[in-house]
Structure 1
Amino acid sequence: MAPASPLLRVRALQHHYRLPRTRLLGPRPILPVLHGVDLEIQAGRSLGVVGESGSGKSTLARLVMALETPAGGSVELLGRDLHRLSAAELRAARRDFQMVFQDPYGSLDPRQRVERIVTEPLFPLERPTRAEAAERAAEVLAQVGLRPGDAHKYPHEFSGGQRQRIAIARALITRPCLIVADEPVSALDVSVQAQVLNLLAELQERHGVTYLFISHDLAVVSHLCDEVLVLRAGEVVERGAPQQLFTAPQHPYTRALVDAVPRMVV
């Protein structure tokens, strides 16, 4: 039997940014960020992307989310190249992929109640009635361990971990097959990190969600991901199962990341 096609396939992805001019009439310098990145994720699996700040991880996340246009290469989700879709087609396709951002408070509108925040992605797609939106909000809030009454509160009334649960509920509201999580626990206390990671794993087991998990921390991705891709200066230098990378890293950069993981001294 032929293997199933990957849910997400990224091919030869390239990107750069133009910097401010150094001379009044001179050309704007180009800063290369990604250099031909390839990756695949099968449905229901998790791929972690690790690397230090400036390695291109967040740029990769934005390109997968079609928030920016790549300089070259392709991003295919469910066989569709997202960057070749029309604006209307891309808007409809966003039902299938959502994002969880790093800062749970900064990504939530402080002027809106939780019910409105969580259901916001629905309105461009379905135009639900108020009752339908409230029902869907209650459903996803329960899935992330929050109470029905929380729908009527504001973000400032919650802890950091609870706010990230709200952000995850917002990502789940369209019932996506892919969630891109960009450093979703780095702004949280260590004990809360574990709670959120356990929640993501539970949601994957229950609903078959696929994750592209961006992090600088190998220990974090090893908790959730089936495979890890190591990104350095916009290039993939190593990939493999988390246990393999922890115990027998092949590239010097991966070894440096592993050595940077804190270990308990007894």
Structure 2
Amino acid sequence: MHTASPHAPLLQVDQLVQRYTLPRESLFRAAPVVDALKGVSLTMTAGRNLGIVGESGSGKSTLARLVMALETPTAGTVHIAGQNVHALGAAALRRARSGFQMVFQDPQASLDPRMPVWRSVAEPLAALQAVGKAAQRDAVSRVLAEVGLSAIDGNKYPHEFSGGQRQRIAIARALITKPRLIVADEPVSALDVSVQAQVLNLMSELQQRHGVTFLFISHDLAVISHLCDDLVVMRAGQVVEAGRTAEVLRAPREAYTRELLAAVA
């Protein structure tokens, strides 16, 4: 049973640490250790999209995996709608996942090429709920229409679509369980600039229509500024700056943020 406070933040990350032990290079030396996250904390409010920006290796994708409970943190906690997701048992976590879903960077890799689109989109429903095939097909038809595709498209295979259409399919799959939070990890970086704008506009429309909130991860400040109300800048596994997106972009306090802005100027 869900007992979270209605006033709890949508996402609360407290002192998150993730340390990876790499393979030994020598029998006579200790295995090298990499600190991917070094005490990251952030709060996200329902209805306010949060952007996470930073260069490659800053820890953005590691943070996304921990928020989604795809990995277990070395230390720290992740609460979604008041629930500590890493303290849930397997069955409880599976049920909780209906409330938070993910869109990955490469839709080509995240969609099974041997599976018709309707089955890929229905996967979260099949995994989370006892829903029959007919009800799954109806739900898929509705959500495909939401992202600008048709029910007939559900019978096609991923290779029959463009990159932008495949990302729409991935968004439909994330949306089908009616989540409150969608984690989008570089969801437009593999797309042409004109298609990027279409996908970003779609995400904005879906937020207005369904009340879903996006945690949007990108290396591109221009993309973040299009969609996100609040901004967190990461570097080397740490938060170096945070605030309202417009304010951070207008008057960044940190030299690293100014470097990122200069790169897109």
TM-score, scaled relative to structure 1: 0.96
In 2, the alpha carbon distance for the partners of 1:241 and 1:92 equals 32
Pairwise CA distance, 1:22: 1.5
Where has structure 1 moved over 2 Å in runs of 4 or more? 24-27
Matches within 5 A, 1:35-184: 35-184=38-187
Structure 1 portions without partners, runs of 5+: none
Pairwise CA distance, 1:25: 4.6
Partner amino acid for 1:215? S
Residue matched to 1:223: 226
CA contact (8 A) 1:8 1:41 kept: yes
| Residue aligned with 1:33, SS | strand
In 2, the alpha carbon distance for the partners of 1:91 and 1:129 equals 18
Q: Is 2:181 the counterpart of 1:186?
A: no
In 1, the alpha carbon distance for the partners of 2:67 and 2:147 equals 25
RMSD: 1.1
The C-alpha deviation readout for 1:72-123, integer Å capped at 9, x for no partner, is 1000011110011111111111111000000011110000001000000111
Structure 2 portions without partners, runs of 5+: 1-5
In 1, the alpha carbon distance for the partners of 2:18 and 2:128 equals 29
Partner amino acid for 1:161? G
Q: Aligned match of 2:34 in 20, 26, 31?
A: 31
Between the two proteins, the alignment pairs up a number of residues equal to 260
Pairwise CA distance, 1:68: 0.4
CA contact (8 A) 1:45 1:209 kept: no
